Structure 1
């Protein structure tokens, strides 16, 4: 048979039957894709060009495949409208110019969303990104492409097929990343991952995302009822679907929408990977964005990924009100640092050299069995730190102190940490980004020449921060809480550099806000709320007076609504102002607040009685 069909059109094809032959699958001479190349009756999606598809048969009496039942399809010359694209706003200075191409997706039976991305969509997106980059003088960092899919909420799965030519275009152009968004799961491939997929595949490439309904009992321990998806990259060869699971040096970033419930601590959420045997492994390098409600996982292996939860076995009573609590919970949940007992973390205890390299080794996933030597006389053979010290020493991350000694229990200084982090980044192949303006520390003269470059690199990447007196304090010993914050920042930075912008807590527990690489100072409005920063950029916290009004800040959170402070109760309006010296109706009840803002309780005010909760008993006064 033959026919003329538009690119992307679906054509129903039937191979029929042949005496003494069994059907062996469909093949195509010029691209396109089959819904099921192994089925004698299926649908074929037209490529952008002419093609011939062939039904292949195997003689039941033996011998190889034979062709037969060929179909010739011609792609007509049609004027297709230009792809609708948008240049996305930059989130960091060195970001590639990113273009989003809007693509409508059709929903088939059973709620399956499917689309074929034509060569034209990719070509239009690349052309627009390149043109904009050239016009704006931003060609240095290259371009990225995003598919912004318009998908109804009720879809069950997503399948995106790329004709070989479209995918080749992404690779040949050197696109820095390729992202598919619009579904509850967003996936992005970096440049190396795109090259790896192209090198491992033949013909059209399909990217699919499908929810996983049933998982093994062992995996449920970590995942529970949280979302989990089978994320696949595949192509068809000789009628068989071939999966590409190993991206080698390439990286895929998987972002899964998930709202943490009231019984979950956000820092204990992590990525979960389920292997072919149904066993689940937690991915420590995942980051949960509580504001966006998204868990972001970076991986070089595709299959089943989801949202996991790992609550630490210990609950530490000494971090409950500590400024480093969030980061401590984050690193403990990922097994990078342990408590000093079942109930204590000792956040203000000095970090030792051995503890630091052990945390970095755990972050890197070091196989402790691979390091059975001992290069230092003061490191015990049976010490749990020994294999990590050997790993760090062999990788050039850390050095001994001379005379075959390491000084594992010696507190580590801040300038030493800067060098070790810089060496770790180099050893693991991570290029530290320059995100913030370089700071000239007031005590810069006390930073030794061997440490200066590393200190600058850590500061500009947002991993290490000076104090409110603009001092780095190079020879100060770092505490376990400080190191927890540094590890937390480093992990987030490797996942998404934009985490170095916005709110940051320094190594002394003080808050700053960075915009365009600079600390904000003075009065600023952030996300609709006023904040007040000192000249050195540190946030004013606690009680803050603005004219005749008062505000209260707990860390970087502006208080809104009811708040108990010491032994008094206060109420703050939606814009953060303390209510004072008046009656106010709140949720159908009347309350009176004294001139100092405290709530009147169990007393008489203006001839009205208020109860022990501050509620006026007679609510007729206006």
Structure 2
């Protein structure tokens, strides 16, 4: 037999009288060769509070006794760990087929809830495009198995370690007192109200005392944070990420209702500490503006900012640096996540961290001569090029068949004036409904774009991507 391969067995009786019928297949068995050192051996600082008991797990909504639950204490925190049974899970996934949802519901009020699998289970779930869902009273974490990226974890731990020996823990935890203090200080500086207490979301691969944390994903991952009873759901503006240094950033969020209970649905490309806030903003100079709703919405969500406390300058043309910064904020990306390849962007510039992230996520590429032109006014075709790249991140599809690009551009009186590099991007933005022509049936590719228009475009991008 081959290690890591799942087998079933049948029994058939044979004698001089003939051959009897085959038995029904046995339970699936997967042999493994333990890696050197094993996955245990380390000491633990936790204190058992209860013995292992079976726990009900849902697979596509069907109840299965496919795990055990243990509650322990770690310092002054209670920890509930649900460990999935590999054999039972694999049998169920085999019968359910592709894209099954495995839900671990935890009703106990623990400070930390952990769903535990091994690397081979994750790999098998990944091959079937399965989704893992951890559900507590405070949050629901929905995680496609492929986003755990077991291959990356294995690479860091060591390829010689069998996947079966790598422990994978998906954790939802009440933030520590120290983190709560950081969030409170951020609240005072940011002028927002905390609606839901901060929660930490973590994924770890563990082997022989070594832990590898997965903090980034290559697609938006959804987590729901429960809105506390008595809170008006209309007083929820957005979800935020709170970094260890107190830096706060918006993450795309919408309020939804499930079985009569309100949740903030947060879509993010990272793991971190999350909270939900109320942060209403109204800019005085947008009061009678056509883009008032979009400007105030994006301002409240911390995507756009004013020139001072209550002025936005909606009709001022926007610069390339401003546009890149707003795009990074709108997508909920962390500034400073990459390298700066441009000669005309200095580390001391306020926008340098945003430029680095925009480059890392392939939203911007510059002029091709080593410069970005941060203070240049951005043109509509340049903006649409960046937007189309952002659509790749949000997975907003605008499939363009043969001849459709030309047809869409021909619908505008000046479509032929579009630069060759921008034509596909313009067509994608038009087809997806993010950008429309002007009232005179012009797309105006060479014109500049205003701060008001940018706020409206960002709102449309997030809505059509179903992120807010």
TM class by smaller structure = 0.5 to 0.7
**How does 1:274-353 map onto structure 2 within 5 Å?**
274-275=243-244, 279-289=245-255, 293-302=263-272, 305-309=273-277, 311=279, 315-320=282-287, 322=289, 324-333=291-300, 336-353=303-320
In the superposition, the TM-score normalised over structure 2's length comes to 0.63
Give the match's secondary structure for 2:178: coil
Q: Aligned to 1:186, which of 134, 137, 140?
A: 140
Match of 1:212 in 2: 175
Are the equivalent residues in 1 in contact too, given 2:339–2:359 (CA < 8 A)? no
Structure 1's unaligned 5+ residue stretches are 1-6, 8-26, 48-80, 87-99, 131-142, 501-622
How many angstroms does 1:454 deviate by?
0.5
Match of 1:433 in 2: 397
How many angstroms does 1:327 deviate by?
3.5
Q: May I ask how many residue pairs the two structures share in their alignment?
A: 397
Are the equivalent residues in 1 in contact too, given 2:203–2:214 (CA < 8 A)? no
Q: 1:476 to 1:109 in 2, by over 3 A?
A: same
2:385 pairs with 1:419? yes
2:426 pairs with 1:458? no
Give the match's secondary structure for 2:115: strand
Structure whose alpha-carbon radius of gyration is higher:
1
Q: 1:490 to 1:336 in 2, by over 3 A?
A: same
Match of 2:199 in 1: 229
**How does 1:134-145 map onto structure 2 within 5 Å?**
143-145=98-100
Structure 2's unaligned 5+ residue stretches are 1-26, 28-33, 73-77, 158-164, 188-193
Q: 1:33 to 1:319 in 2, by over 3 A?
A: farther
Q: 1:467 to 1:153 in 2, by over 3 A?
A: farther
Q: Higher helix proportion, which one?
A: 2
Give the match's secondary structure for 2:311: coil
2:125 pairs with 1:170? yes
2:329 pairs with 1:359? no
In the superposition, the TM-score normalised over structure 1's length comes to 0.50
Give deviations 1:284-308, integer Å, cap 9, x for gaps: 2342336653141424345xx2314
Give deviations 1:196-254, integer Å, cap 9, x for gaps: 3455564433333232362353322346573222434446655x5x5443445556543
Instruction: Give the Cα separation in 1 of the matches to 2:106 and 2:52.
Output: 20
Q: 1:254 to 1:320 in 2, by over 3 A?
A: same
Match of 2:466 in 1: 498
Taking only aligned residues, the RMSD between alpha carbons, in angstroms, comes to 5.3
Q: Aligned to 1:254, which of 202, 211, 223?
A: 223
How many angstroms does 1:365 deviate by?
4.3
How many angstroms does 1:453 deviate by?
0.7
